[in-house]
Amino acid sequence: MGKHGSLLAVIVLCLLLSVPVLTVFSSVFNSSDGVWQHLVDTLLWSYIVQSLQLMLGVGVMVLVLGVAPAWLVTMTRFPGSRWLEWALVLPLAMPAYIIAYTYTGMLDVAGPVQGFIRDTFDLRFGDYWFPQIRSTGGAITMLSLVLYPYVYLLSRMAFLEQSVCVLEVSRTLGSSPWHAFTRMAVPLARPAIIAGLALVLMETLADYGTVQYFGISTFTAGIFRTWFGMGSATAAAQLSAVLMLFILVLVIAEQWSRNRARYHHTSTRYSRLPQLRLKGWKMVGALLYCLIPVLFGFVVPVLQLAWWAWDTRALVDFSAFSQLVFNSLRLAFTAALIALMLGMLITYAKRLQPGLPMRTATRVLGLGYAVPGTVIAVGVLIPFAWLDNSLDAWMRAQFDIATGLLMSGTLIAVVFAYIVRFLPVAMNTVEAGLGKIKPSMDDAGRSMGLGSWQILRRIHIPMLKGSLLTAALLVFVDVLKELPATLILRPFNFNTLAIRTYELANQERLTEAAASALMIVIAGIIPVMIISLSISASRPGHDKRT
Amino acid sequence: MKKLLLSMFAVSALSAGLFVSAAAQAAEVNVYSGREENLIKPLLDRFSAATGVTVNLITAGADELTTRLELEGANSPADLLLTVDVGRLLRAKEMGLLQAVDSDVLESQIPAQYRDSEGQWFGVSLRARVVVYDKECVDPAQLSTYEDLVDPKWRGQICVRSSSNIYNQSMTAAMISHHGVEATEQWARGLVANFARDPQGGDRDQIAAVAIGQCQLAIVNNYYLAGMMNATNEEQREQASKVAVFWPNQADRGAHINISGVGLTAHAPNRAEAVQLLEYLVSDEAQTWYAETNNEFPVRPGVPVSATLQAWGEFKADELALEQLGTHNAESVRLMDRAGWR
C-alpha cells in the first residue's frame, strides 16, 4: 500500500469513528414540530447562559487548582512535595456524579453538617447562612475538584520537559522564581495547559449526572428534557448540534494555539531540574495550596463514602459485587488498549500527512469527547441497528437465513461507543508527546534508511512511552467512570460498578450506593498513580545525577 | 516491540472472550426495564424458579430503552417493556412499539382505568402522589386539594422536585385532563409562586426539607416516605417521623395515581413466555411482593398493602383512566416551562 493508500485508510477509519457524531448532526435538518420554537421562546437562552457560566467557572477554577501546584511540585521542594506530586492526580479517579452525591449528602440542608450547626447553636433553618450546595457555584466546585487533574497532569508534563537552559537564562537575567513561573514557565507550557483546559471544558459540557442532580439547566440537561419530556428526538439532536458548535470553537481554539508556535525544544542538554527548597511561610503556603485540591477532591469524599459503605456493609452481596468489578475492569482494559492503538495510528498518520483532509477528519473525531454519553449511545445505536437489520433483510432474501441483530446489544457496540467518546483523550495525549519530538529525528532516521513504520517503532515509541501509557490509562479511568452509554447499549444481564452505583443513587439510597462508588474510586487509583509516576519518569535524564 | 505484540495478542484474546455471548437457552423472556435492577430482579428470579423460564434483563431509563427498541426494529430481542410511569407506556404505544395482549387473567384482575383499553399495556403497581406536611406547624385541616396549594397562605412553603421529573409531568398532565391547559397553567404559576426554593433533589430530599423546616409542605410519591420510615439510616427515620401524609382531593376526585406497568413489544420473539410473565406480575405472590418490598399499592383490589401504608389509612384514588394522559405529557412539560417551574 502506498503513502496515499494508507492515508486514505486512516481517513476512512476516522470517518467510521465519526459516524455517531455525524448521525446526530444530520437530524438537524428534520422538522421538530414547533418544539424548537418553544425552546427559543422559553429556555434556550437560559441553557446558553448556564452552560457558559459553568464553563467559565470551571475553566478558571481548574487553572487555579491545576497549574500552580504542578509548578510547585516540579520546581520546588517542601515537606510532602514528593507525596503530593502523585496525590494531586487522585481526584481523577472520582466520577463527577459521585463527588456531587457525596458532598450533597454532607452539606445539604438536611445533611449532618448543617444538622450539627442547628443542634449546637440551637438554630432553626433560615436563622443562619450556609452556602447552597445544589447551585451553579456548587456544580462548578464539584466539577473542578475532579477535573483539575487534567490541567495538572498536562502542565506538569510540560514543566518537566522544559529545558533547564531556558530557566537558567531567566535566572541569570535576574528574574525571581515568581517571574520564572509567570513569564517563562507558564507561557512555554501554554499549549499543554490549553490542551488540558480543552479536555476539562469538553467534560463539563458533556456532564449530565451532576447538573441534573443539582437541577441546573445547562445545554445537556436541556437536550435530555427536550428529548424525553417532550418526546422530540429531533429537537434534542438540534440542541446537540448547537452544543457541538460550542465544542468546535473550543477544538479549533486549542489547535490554533498549538499550531502557531513550535514548542519542541532544541537543546539536547537535559539535566536534573534545579529544585528550589522552600522555607518559612512560603513552605507553609505551598503545602496548603497543594493540599486543598487533594483534600477536597479526594480525601474528604472518600472518607465519607467509606463511612457510608461501612454503615451499609450488611447489604453488599460479595459474589455479585466481584462480577461487577470484573466487568468494569475488562471493559476499561479492552477500550483503553484499542483507543491507544487507534490513537497512535491516527496521530502518526497526521504527523506524516498533515494536510487538510487529515486535519478535518481528526477534528470531527475530536468532537466525540464533548458529546454527552447518551447522545453518543443513540448515535451508535442508529448505524449499528441499521447495519444489522439490512444484513438480516439481505440474508433472508438471498439465503432465507435470519441473522437477527449481530452487533447491536453486544459489547462491541459498547466498546465502539467508548472509543468514539474517549479516543480524543488518547489522541490529545499522544499528539502532545509526538509534538515534542523534533522532525529532525524523523529525518535522521529516514537518512539511515528507516521506513515510516520503523521510525515509529524504533524512534517514536521508545521516546513516547510515557505519553502512550498516560493515554491508555486516562481512557481506562474514563471508561471505569462512564455511565450513560454503558447503560443504554449493554447486553442483557450485564452490569458494571458505575451502573450499580447510579441505580441505587437514583433511588435516593446514597448510603447503599457508597460501596460500589468506593470500588470505582479504588479501581481507578492504581492506574492514576501509574500515570503520575510515569510522568515523573518521563523527563529525559530524570535519573541522571548532576 | 515483542511486548507490544504480546499485549495486542492479549487484547484480542480478551476481547474474543468478551464478545462471545452465551448460546440461546430453551425457554426465555427478555425484559427491557425502566425499573432498577434491585427493584425487579428478585421478583423475576422467583418467576424463573417457579416456571423454569429464564429472564434476561436490561435496566436503563425508560426513554432510552424505548429509543433502543424503536431503532432495533423488528429484530429487537425485547419481549416486554417495563416502566415506572404511565407516560412512557403511552408514548411506546403511540410509536407502535407495543402489541395487544388478549388475556382474561389480566382483564379480570386489573381495574380498567389502570390498563390500556386496547390491551397494549397493563399497570402492575400503583403509586400515589401525596402531600407531606410538617406535623409541628401545619394543621391538616388547612389542607384540602392540589388546587388549594396555590393559595397565598402557602407562600414560600412548598417543596417539590424539578418539572423534568416524570411524576410531576404526569400529575400536571392529569390536571390538564381535569381542568384544561389554561387553568392548569394558572395553577402551575401559582404553585411556582409558593415554592420555598428552586426545585432540586429527589422526593426524599423534599421530605427532609420539610423535616428540617425549610418548607411546610412537599409533594411526593407515597413509597419514598414509606421507604424513609423503614430506612436502615437512623437520620432518615428521624426525619420521616417529623412529617405526616395528607391525601389530597378526598372530597372530590381523589389523589393522583400513577402506575408502574408493562407492555408486550410489537415484535416479541418469545410471546408465550412474555404473557406468562405478565400474568405472573399480577399474581398474589408478585402483588404482595410489590406491596411489601417497595411500599407501592397493589394494582389488584383486595391484596393487602404493607403495614406502613396500612397505618396511613384508606384513601380515595382518582379514577381518571390513565390512557387519557396520553397526549398531555408534552403539553405539560411546555406548560411548566412557561410557568417557570424548573
Domains of chain A, each with CATH number or no CATH: 21-264+281-538 (1.10.3720.10)
Contact yes or no for B212 and A125 at CB 8 A: yes
The separation between CA A315 and the C-alpha centre of its own chain, rounded to angstroms, equals: 32
Residue A143 confidence (pLDDT) above 60: yes
For residues B62 and B77, state if they share a domain: yes
For residues B249 and B266, state if they share a domain: no
Q: Exposed, middle or buried by CB within 10 Å (0-12, 13-18, 19+), for A173?
A: exposed
Is residue B186 less than 8 Å (CB to CB) from chain A?
no
User: pLDDT tens digits for A25-70?
Assistant: 777 677 667 777 777 777 788 888 999 999 999 999 999 999 999 9
Please give, rounded to a whole number of angstroms, the shortest distance from the CA of A109 to a CA of chain B: 7
On average, the pLDDT of chain A sits at: 83
Q: B63 contacts in A (CB within 8 Å)?
A: 227-228
Weakest-pLDDT range from A474-483, A526-535, B168-177: A526-535
Q: How confident is the model at residue A538 (pLDDT cuts 50, 70, 90)?
A: low
Instruction: Check residue A544 and give its pLDDT.
Output: 41
Give the Å distances, CA to CA, from B221 to A45, A48, A91, B204, B259: 32, 33, 36, 9, 11
User: pLDDT tens digits for A68-104?
Assistant: 999 899 888 888 888 898 899 999 989 998 999 899 9
Is B7 within the bounds of a domain?
no
Mean pLDDT of each 10-residue bin along chain B, 342 residues long: 52 49 67 92 94 94 89 92 92 93 93 94 95 93 94 94 89 94 95 92 91 93 93 86 94 94 95 95 93 92 91 91 84 90 86
Q: Which residue of B has its CA nearest to A382?
A: B71
Instruction: Check residue B17 and give its pLDDT.
Output: 47
ipTM > 0.90 for the complex: no
CATH assignment at residue B161 = 3.40.190.10
Q: Detail the DSSP E strand segments found in A16-92.
A: 76-77
CA separation for the pair A349, A357 (Å, rounded) = 11
Q: Detail the DSSP E strand segments found in B225-309.
A: 243-246, 256-265, 297-298
Q: Which residues contact A464 (CB under 8 A, 6 or more apart)?
A: A430, A433, A434, A437
Q: Which residues pair with B115 in a beta bridge?
A: B122
Is B97 within the bounds of a domain?
yes
User: pLDDT tens digits for A501-517?
Assistant: 988 888 778 888 899 99
Q: A482 contacts in B (CB within 8 Å)?
A: none
User: pLDDT tens digits for A315-360?
Assistant: 777 788 889 999 999 999 999 999 999 998 898 888 888 788 888 8
- Grid cell at residue A206: 458533556
Q: Which residue of B has its CA nearest to A458?
A: B1
- Nearest alpha-carbon partner for A99 in A207, A247, A218: A207
Instruction: Check residue B20 and give its pLDDT.
Output: 43
Contact B168, B202 (CB under 8 A): no
**Within 13 Å of residue B33, how many CA atoms lie on the same side as its CB?**
21
Residues 143-182 of chain B with CB under 8 A from chain A are 162-164, 169
CA separation for the pair A485, A209 (Å, rounded) = 13
Prediction pTM value: 0.85
The separation between CA A6 and the C-alpha centre of its own chain, rounded to angstroms, equals: 30
CA separation for the pair A190, A263 (Å, rounded) = 10
CB atoms within 10 A of CB A192: 25
For residues B115 and B225, state if they share a domain: no
CA separation for the pair B332, A410 (Å, rounded) = 37
Instruction: Check residue A281 and give its pLDDT.
Output: 86
Contact yes or no for A338 and B11 at CB 8 A: yes
Contact A546, A272 (CB under 8 A): yes
Instruction: Check residue B3 and give its pLDDT.
Output: 53
For residues B137 and B119, state if they share a domain: no
- Nearest alpha-carbon partner for A38 in B337, B29, B292: B337
Contact yes or no for A110 and B212 at CB 8 A: yes
- Grid cell at residue B207: 421530605
| Best residue in A232, A487, A507, A512 for a mutation probing chain B (most B CBs within 10 Å) | A507
Residue A260 confidence (pLDDT) above 70: no
The amino acid occupying position B144 is S
Q: Which residues contact B143 (CB under 8 A, 6 or more apart)?
A: B131, B133, B217, B246, B248
For residues B58 and B137, state if they share a domain: no
Q: Exposed, middle or buried by CB within 10 Å (0-12, 13-18, 19+), for A200?
A: buried
State the distance between the two ends of chain B, measured CA to CA, in whole angstroms: 57
Q: Which domain holds residue B276?
A: 27-126+257-311
Instruction: Check residue B12 and give its pLDDT.
Output: 53
Q: Detail the DSSP E strand segments found in A148-301.
A: 276-277
Task: Please compute the mean of the pLDDT values over residues A93-121 and round it to a whole number.
Answer: 87
Taking the CA atoms of residue B293, residue B296, residue B300 and residue B302 in that order, the dihedral angle to the nearest 10 degrees is: 80
The separation between CA A277 and the C-alpha centre of its own chain, rounded to angstroms, equals: 33
For residues B140 and B242, state if they share a domain: yes
Is B17 within the bounds of a domain?
no
Weakest-pLDDT range from A140-149, A229-238, B209-218: A229-238
Residues 230-249 of chain A with CB under 8 A from chain B are 230-233
For residues B307 and B217, state if they share a domain: no
Residue A541 confidence (pLDDT) above 70: no
Residues 45-64 of chain B with CB under 8 A from chain A are 56-61, 63-64
Nearest CB among B58, B73, B239 relative to A389 is that of B73
For residues B70 and B35, state if they share a domain: yes
Please give, rounded to a whole number of angstroms, the shortest distance from the CA of A125 to a CA of chain B: 6
Q: How confident is the model at residue A224 (pLDDT cuts 50, 70, 90)?
A: confident
Q: How confident is the model at residue A540 (pLDDT cuts 50, 70, 90)?
A: low
CA separation for the pair B148, A64 (Å, rounded) = 50
Instruction: Check residue A3 and give its pLDDT.
Output: 60
Is B21 within the bounds of a domain?
no
Is B84 within the bounds of a domain?
yes
For residues B111 and B67, state if they share a domain: yes
Residues 436-495 of chain A with CB under 8 A from chain B are 457, 461, 484, 487-495
Contact yes or no for B73 and A408 at CB 8 A: no
Give the Å distances, CA to CA, from A76 to A139, A167, A169, A448, B98: 32, 13, 18, 42, 66
Length of chain A measured in residues? 546
Residue pairs between chains A and B whose CB atoms are closer than 8 Å: 165
Residue A368 confidence (pLDDT) above 80: yes
State the pairing for strand pair B80-83/B256-265: antiparallel
Count of domains observed in chain B? 2
Contact yes or no for A125 and B1 at CB 8 A: no
CA separation for the pair A41, A21 (Å, rounded) = 27
Contact yes or no for B199 and A409 at CB 8 A: no
The backbone torsions φ and ψ at residue B135, rounded to the nearest 5 degrees and listed phi first, read -60, -30
User: pLDDT tens digits for A166-189?
Assistant: 666 766 776 677 777 777 777 778
Length of chain B measured in residues? 342
DSSP label at residue B142: G
Q: How confident is the model at residue A543 (pLDDT cuts 50, 70, 90)?
A: very low
For residues B108 and B147, state if they share a domain: no
CA separation for the pair A40, A38 (Å, rounded) = 5
For residues B152 and B120, state if they share a domain: no
Residue A461, SS3? helix
Instruction: Check residue B50 and give its pLDDT.
Output: 93
Contact yes or no for A233 and B204 at CB 8 A: no
Instruction: Check residue B24 and give its pLDDT.
Output: 46
Residue A235 confidence (pLDDT) above 50: yes
The amino acid occupying position A104 is T
For residues B329 and B205, state if they share a domain: yes
Instruction: Check residue B145 and give its pLDDT.
Output: 94
Task: Please compute the mean of the pLDDT values over residues A378-397 and round it to a whole number.
Answer: 89
Contact yes or no for B201 and A134 at CB 8 A: yes
Q: What share of chain B is helix, strand, coil (3-state, %, to 5)?
A: 50, 15, 35
Q: A491 contacts in B (CB within 8 Å)?
A: 21, 58
The amino acid occupying position A192 is A
CB atoms within 10 A of CB B302: 8
